Structure formats: C-alpha cells, structure tokens
Amino acid sequence: MFKIICIAVAVTISAVSSAHAMPQNGCGGECASCHNLSVKDADALLKKTGITVKSVKQAPAKGLFELLVEKNDKQGVIFIDYGKKHLLQGMIIDLETLQPVSALPQPKQVTSVDVKTIPVANAVVIGNPKGTKKLYVFTDPDCPYCRKGHAELKKLIKIDPDVTIYVMLFPLPMHPGSYDKSRAILESKNHELLDKAFDGKEMPKPVKESSKKAIDEIIKFANAHGISGTPTLILPDGTIQVGMRDAETMKKELEGK
C-alpha cells in the first residue's frame, strides 16, 4: 500500500519584501512573472534558522518556491509559500504516478536499511530494553508532529511490554534550537528530560563534546540513508516509514499484522 505523509513545519517567517502586484485579470500565466524569490531574499527570510540558501526555483506545485538549502555541510530541500510567510518540509507527490516530483535533482529514495548499521549506541532507549520487537524512531524535539508522535510511543510501550524503542534524535536544520536540546538529552539519556523536551519545556544547555559527536553520527546516518524528515520510523525488518502511526497501528506492524 502506498503511504504518503506530508511533514509540514508550521514556522511563520516575516517577509522581507512584498510580493509583486497581481495582474488585474488574475493569475493564469507564468507564475514567475508575478511571484519571485531571490537567493538573497530567501537567506534573509531564513536568517533565524541558520540555513544557507543555495538555489531557488518554482516548485512543481503552484504557490510554492522550492529551495535547496545547507546547514552544517548537509543539504536538503524545503518550500516557502508565495506569500513568504510559511516554511514547509516534505515532498510533492504526483497524484497520477504517485511519485515524488521536484524542480531540483533528487537522490534515489531509500525504502529500507540494514538495522544492524543504525547507530543505536547514540539512542535513548524507552520501553523494554530486552524486548524482542525493535522500533527505531528518528525524531526532532521541536517538530510538532514528533511531539504528537512521542505521546503515541509512550502509549505503545504501555500496551506492548515486549517492545524496545530506540529514540534517534535527529534535529532538522530549520529548528535551530533542536540541536542543543538533542545533545542535552543524550548527555543524560534521562527519560524525564526526554519527555520535557517533547513537552516544549526549557532545557539545560549541553556541556559535553561527546554529545555533539553522537548527534552528528545520527545526522550522518540519516543523510546517507535518505532520511530527511521527522518523524521517520524503521521497522525490525529495516523498512522505512515516513510519518508517525498511532500506538495500536505500530503494535500491529511490529507483530507483522
């Protein structure tokens, strides 16, 4: 079954310049004639995130600009709406082919990984550490969908005492505060601090260089295996699933149902 999850980050940003006036007969021609965004203006819009914009193109879906961005030597694709008010992360799917489409070159989509290669030494383990069912979750404390998903993970460990969940903290470039939060969690691997982060509460500052190395290893693994958004799940057989499921659905999937 084809499953699509569009992971959108609800980030509001102030426009640095107003959009060009619309022609009186409405928008029916070439979008670029009315709507444009320069690399310089995009950099200004994204200044708070620490992201560097490499290029800007009209997205395949009208109403969006597609940006190739870079942070910490890692590249990714994000979108900004024509109103220059919202940033979105995810992919555009062609409804006829059910395949991702992009104005920018895209790497081949990875659908599975060898779970033995996942750097679980850098994970926060919740649930039963000796459970026979393994679930790997790439998640970001500042991602609103991850916050909802974290609540489902806590439900899952209550209804399935045989599951081990490896929480792989994967801070996204558009969440500038998430990197240090993720480091702080790894420095203690304290479950209460983990919950505190996903509740949006104030977090201590990281102090150990080892936590930076650990988070960077997770980011490197994710980038190498086509994991670009959160939440992303990896099932025991290595199947990659983009987006969170509810606790009951995850339980059934771990049971092979």
Q: In this predicted structure, what is the pLDDT of residue 31?
A: 59
Q: In this predicted structure, what is the pLDDT of residue 27?
A: 46
Neighbours of 156 (CB within 10 A): 23
Burial 37-65 (b: 16+ CB within 10 A, else e): beeebbbebbeebebbbeebebbeeeebb
Q: In this predicted structure, what is the pLDDT of residue 33?
A: 57
Closest CA to 239 of 251, 224, 253: 253
Q: In this predicted structure, what is the pLDDT of residue 75?
A: 74
Distance from C-alpha of 20 to C-alpha of 122, rounded to nearest angstrom: 48
Distance from C-alpha of 128 to C-alpha of 111, rounded to nearest angstrom: 27
Q: Residue-wise pLDDT tens for the chain (257 aa)?
A: 333 333 333 333 433 333 334 444 444 445 555 688 999 999 999 988 888 899 998 988 888 999 988 877 667 788 999 999 888 877 777 777 766 677 766 555 678 999 999 999 999 999 999 999 999 999 999 998 999 999 999 999 999 999 999 999 999 887 889 999 999 999 999 999 999 999 999 999 999 999 999 999 999 999 888 888 899 999 999 999 988 899 999 999 999 86
Q: In this predicted structure, what is the pLDDT of residue 90?
A: 74
Q: Is 156 helix (H, G, I), strand (E, B) or coil?
A: helix
Look at the pTM and tell me if it is higher than 0.85. Answer: no
Structural domains of the chain, ranges and CATH numbers in brackets: 11-16+31-101 (3.10.450), 115-254 (3.40.30.10)
Give me the count of residues in the chain: 257
Single-letter amino acid, residue 2:
F
DSSP letter (8 states) at residue 116: G
Q: In this predicted structure, what is the pLDDT of residue 108?
A: 56
